[in-house]
A and B are shown apart, each in its own frame.
Chain A
Amino acid sequence: MNDINILGIETSCDETAAAIVKNGEEIRSNVVQSQISLHQKFGGVVPEVASRKHIETITAVTQEAFVRAGLDYRDIDALAVTNRPGLIGALLVGVSFAKSLAYALGKPLIAVNHLHGHIYANFLENPGIAFPCVCLVVSGGHTSLLYMPSHHEYQLIGETRDDAAGEAFDKVARFLGLAYPGGPSVEKAARQGQPGLYKLPRIFLDRDNFEFSFSGLKTAVMNLWRKLEKNGQADVNNMAAEFQAALVEVLVEKTIRAAEKYQVRTVLIAGGVAANSALRGTLAEKAQAQGLEVFYPSLSLCTDNAAMIAGRAYVQYVSRDFASLDLNAYPGLLSL
């Protein structure tokens, strides 16, 4: 087959992104317009504010992806767009734009599940990843464990019952007076503190399933913090370190148990929280001890981007999995 260049478009949350990827593995351009500064004053992503920014920037971001790739609009073979899950108003900007662009260019359109995109960020840098594998997808919106026998089969084997891991980082950061987004600021504080000085529960670790709960961990942080404050012993860095350790331990243990149960040799992590160095380090260490091979994307590909969407879309392109003109966007996962 000839080289296949796919334009990816991603607007599911607070990044307006467009990228062109060749054959599912070579990033020719990867443009991400982050809205973080816009949402900082609200302490979290505001859906209407995000949607308003997406519609203003989507054309420029897409143009930039073509300029950086040195390609003309006619040169691409297909377009791909995230159509679930995410903020519905934000998704609709990308889906409406990508559909009409594909229509007017006369190119096929591919609808990509955002979580599949995150997983395929791994394949952009490691094309030879062997199946079957277990994937931990951790981001502001998701904490899910998946079993993947092949490119085309996904089995959701567990997810969070309440807050996603990234959400827990944001909420705890806000509670402790750390900056938004919470992931990087908690990680930074944790590096200056020590885990184990305060004791937080490892929620659901004792359960023989692959479910998570981070809302309880957040509540435990709040209760302990108030007690410590009363005694004049509250230290932000130590609390951040123990919170991060409690969260990471549960994620890592359950991921390794899943690898055992499904008898896979390969473990992938993906999503914004996969950028957390404690998670990367602990998982790599524990998994290697079990003889597992661990993959995680480089930092810039952990957070939302369109290269991962275009990368995933290649698999769907090969199997002619194309969307029709009435493609819609959906806030939830529907099916994996």
Chain B
Amino acid sequence: MLILAVDSATQVAGVALAEHDRVVCEEFVNFRRNHSEILLPLIDRVMKESQCDWPQIAALAVTAGPGSFTGLRIGMATVKGLSLATGLPVAPISTLDVLAHNVAGSTALVATLLDARRDEVYFTCYDAEGRLPQILMPMKACSPQQAAREIMDLMAATGRRQVILLGDGVAPYQGYFSEHLGEYILPVGPHVMLPRAAALASLAWEALDRGQMVDGLTVKPIYLRLSEAEYRLQKGVS
């Protein structure tokens, strides 16, 4: 059996088909942000390349957020449509969990940072030593300065001397992170810096094994942020 994993949470559009312990096919496109055009053709290609038909699929997986609001909805709407047609259950997985899973096994602290615009990042940290990353604090949107401070605090608290920074929220603030975390940063390759649908599929298998699936009706994105209009209404600004 296979899991079909679909990710369009960031500038990456990714699709993977994976058995329990074998990635069968993966598409990863980090080129133009035209997810609405390419995502379904990528799914079609992965299905055809793997000679896969719907009865072979056990579940669907989708990056649930955080990420680009529109990107998240493109991925989730796509998976909801597939789920309605096939009756397949869905594993919604945090985009930050997927990122951290890219470096599973590392003894360094893993910090995941996605560009949240407005000078903020979507951020959390993981202990990635085991087979599955263990989240160390709630996910949130915060300034890169605050993220750097919390990374330093966590390293002090856990006695670590190294941190791996992952996600598209690293590059925009590279200078700041180098200045404040420089000696502690463990560099990694670009192939693990962004979400991978294969990692999403792997975490979805864990969710399936534990029975943590939802149906396409109820799954919804994790934004970590109100819409601008709701935020203004709450703050009483107009």
Contacts and interface: CB of A to CB of B under 8 A. Distances in A.
B-side binding surface: helix, strand, loop or mixed? helix
Contacts of A52: 69, 221, 223, 227
Contacts of A329: 36
Given A51-B70, A103-B40, A93 B77 contact: yes
A288 interface: no
Contacts of A62: 84
A96 B74 contact: yes
B220 A96 contact: no
A262 interface: no
Given A48-B229, A326-B40, A98 B73 contact: no
B82 A48 contact: no
B81 A98 contact: yes
A105 B85 contact: yes
B201 interface: no
Interface in B65-81: 69-70, 73-81
B156 interface: no
Contact of A63 (B36, B74, B82, B84): B84
Nearest to A94: B77
B233 interface: yes
Contact of B81 (A60, A89, A101): A101
B39 to A, nearest CB: 7
B41 interface: yes
A329 B227 CA distance: 21
A93 B79 CA distance: 11
A73 B86 CA distance: 10
Contacts of A94: 77
A100 B69 contact: no
B81 A100 contact: yes
Nearest to A104: B85
Interface in B194-238: 216-217, 220-221, 223, 227-230, 233
A42 B85 contact: no
A49 interface: yes
Nearest to B232: A42
Given A62-B84, A101-B84, A101-B85, A96 B73 contact: yes
B81 A49 contact: no
A49 B230 contact: yes
Interface residues of B, number: 36
Interface string B76-101: 11111111111000000000000000
Contacts of B1: none
A93 B233 contact: no
Contacts of A103: 40, 43-44, 81-82, 85
A62 B80 CA distance: 11
Contacts of B229: 42, 46, 48-49
A95 interface: yes
B84 A95 contact: no
B179 interface: no
B85 A92 contact: no
Contacts of B21: none
A247 B227 CA distance: 34
B78 A97 contact: yes
A328 B216 CA distance: 22
B37 interface: yes
Contacts of A92: 36, 70, 73-74, 77
Interface of B: 34, 36-41, 43-44, 54, 69-70, 73-86, 216-217, 220-221, 223, 227-230, 233
12 contacts: A46-B227, A48-B229, A49-B227, A49-B229, A52-B69, A55-B76, A59-B216, A92-B70, A101-B84, A103-B81, A104-B82, A325-B41
Interface of A: 41-42, 46, 48-49, 51-52, 54-56, 58-60, 62-63, 73, 88-89, 92-105, 325-329
